[in-house]
Structure 1
């Protein structure tokens, strides 16, 4: 998966975050919502019976015991918390690999997507369910602290609850309308279920991790580098299988003299997501019952969703007017937290707080006009 390497250069990061792991998160949930919203009413009735049996559900917000009733409809504005995790030993407490918020304004026809850094230093509130007293830590630790269950394996759903409370404190969001935990093993399955994805490769890319046949390269004894032949993605139009897509969006270029380094990788992720969601919404998928079923079931197997009374299909219909080009990705300004030369994590710049205030007041459009640098660029 997309794993950042610790090192001495971490304290020299740019003050701008992009959306470092948004590709995998948005792909899985985005494919579900986009594909469902493009389905006819007749198709919807058939999908309800089929798809709701595949998707995982859990009490992600700790309020189902209070009897969260199904809403008659879904109205904006909406805030949806998306958390991506890599599969781990069930006895190991989960860490949130990606933490993202999808904000949908009142009209439900467009959306803003922003990521919160895993290493953001935050005050995590006390959480009696896990006997956690609260404290200052990196944001991705909130899920780990909250997942502890006495005498049992950790609970990712319970960890999500504490993470959601922490993100609410950071952003000022009073309540999330829905949430999802996404297992990144499903990323490759969805691409393969669609028969691969067509996209344009903007430059030659050499894989650090994979061989030409898709097998993993071996890590050199002592670490630091890999051995064996490398997969290569040539500039131009390409058709990517699941493993190729996952490998391509991992690559960055600090050793090739390319100045944009991780920003290039983020841009490639965005380009891929748009290609993937566009393909999922195409007639090739939507009008092909067998392929549509494979795509949705692959996504469902990778998703745990809680809509506080509404299903993911209900949300798919409510957000039927949102298309890939109506989702604005946001990059938030931040800077490293250092103790001397030792990296401690990340912190937001004051302008990020202004963005959160604009979101709460439904003034993001005006804010973006005054702060165009908050828009994530695709090239």
Structure 2
């Protein structure tokens, strides 16, 4: 039997959790309501958007350069993580899908509007409706990892950063110095500060290092944004694994610390009547599930080229089938027949 003091403590922690994070009720990002105090029943899908907000950037200019979809099977014993290429066009438009978030921000840079707009566009593109969705800026990812301590990441090949440089012998974020390999190398030469090198191999990474590696798209193998998608999935899986192994999701106190660290760097959109603690109740059940990482376009370019000019990416028929399988909760069969879509990053 729970004592009055213990019950009061739980209520206090629950209140702290609910008040530490921005929460919105689903609009057109999802329409399935879940009873308060219970986990989702049956299969469900979660949309996760990552945005890069910088001091030099207007709030109304934010784009969702990271677009991830998590599908959970009906019996909640398997979860899948899929990426949506950021350079695919919004259906019926010449604008890229990562701009759908920007379209909904309005004059005040309202993330709620951005999330609704992006959710509607991604549903139109993939056919997947979302029971929950979230947007988090990159500083929020770093805060989560720092709260966890470190995360295990394997670097597949020596990779130079375009954001971090060695200044006075220490890694320093100088993101304004370059936006690609050429400008980053130019800054390194002129400043005498070499680019930070993510060395090949497996190790525990602090928040800044893990996030920086996952943000790189100028990669040795030339895979560009598709390589970045793989590494973003790798990071999410590492974070989930660390949270599960540390017992974070089953400990209200640890959950409270984690969410307090994220603070207003995250917006969570949930079904009407569902609170953050209810959502975490579902997440706790998934902690032991093996997260399967799936590649869009088999992890390679599917470029649209007209008159010799690049016009973004398109979804291959195989990837359209992937999303259709997710919408019907048939991913297990799809993966069995299409093993090449599995991302085996560690």
- What TM-score do you get using the length of structure 2 for normalisation? 0.77
The match for 2:146 among 192, 201, 204 is 192
- Aligned CA distance change for structure 1 residues 347 and 70 (closer, same or farther; 3 Å): same
2:90 pairs with 1:118: no
Segment drifting more, 271-280 vs 105-114 = 271-280
Shift of 1:102: 1.3
Segments of 5+ residues of structure 2 without an aligned counterpart are 1-5
2:329 pairs with 1:362: yes
Segments of 5+ residues of structure 1 without an aligned counterpart are 1-39, 125-134
Aligned to 1:29: none
Is the contact between residue 142 and residue 163 of structure 1 (CA under 8 Å) also seen in structure 2? Answer: yes
- Aligned CA distance change for structure 1 residues 198 and 120 (closer, same or farther; 3 Å): closer
User: How many pairs align?
Assistant: 322
2:340 pairs with 1:376: no
Question: What is the correspondence of 1:17-166 to structure 2 with a 5 Å cutoff?
Answer: 45=11, 47-59=13-25, 61=27, 70-71=35-36, 73=38, 74-87=40-53, 89-123=57-91, 135-148=93-106, 152-166=107-121
Question: What is the correspondence of 1:228-377 to structure 2 with a 5 Å cutoff?
Answer: 228-235=193-200, 238-251=203-216, 254=219, 258=221, 267-283=230-246, 293-309=256-272, 310-323=274-287, 326-333=290-297, 335-377=302-344
Is the contact between residue 59 and residue 157 of structure 1 (CA under 8 Å) also seen in structure 2? Answer: no
Shift of 1:323: 3.3
Of Structure 1 and Structure 2, the greater helix share is in 2
Question: What is the correspondence of 1:190-229 to structure 2 with a 5 Å cutoff?
Answer: 190-199=144-153, 201=155, 204-212=158-166, 213-217=170-174, 219=177, 223=183, 225=185, 226-227=187-188, 228-229=193-194
Shift of 1:347: 0.8
Shift of 1:72: 6.4
1:298 is paired with a residue whose SS is helix
Shift of 1:188: 1.8
- Aligned CA distance change for structure 1 residues 62 and 106 (closer, same or farther; 3 Å): closer
| Cα distance between partner residues in 2 of 1:243 and 1:143 | 25
1:215 is paired with a residue whose SS is strand
2:76 is paired with a residue whose SS is coil
Shift of 1:177: 0.9
- Aligned CA distance change for structure 1 residues 91 and 370 (closer, same or farther; 3 Å): closer
| Cα distance between partner residues in 2 of 1:252 and 1:144 | 21
2:91 is paired with a residue whose SS is strand
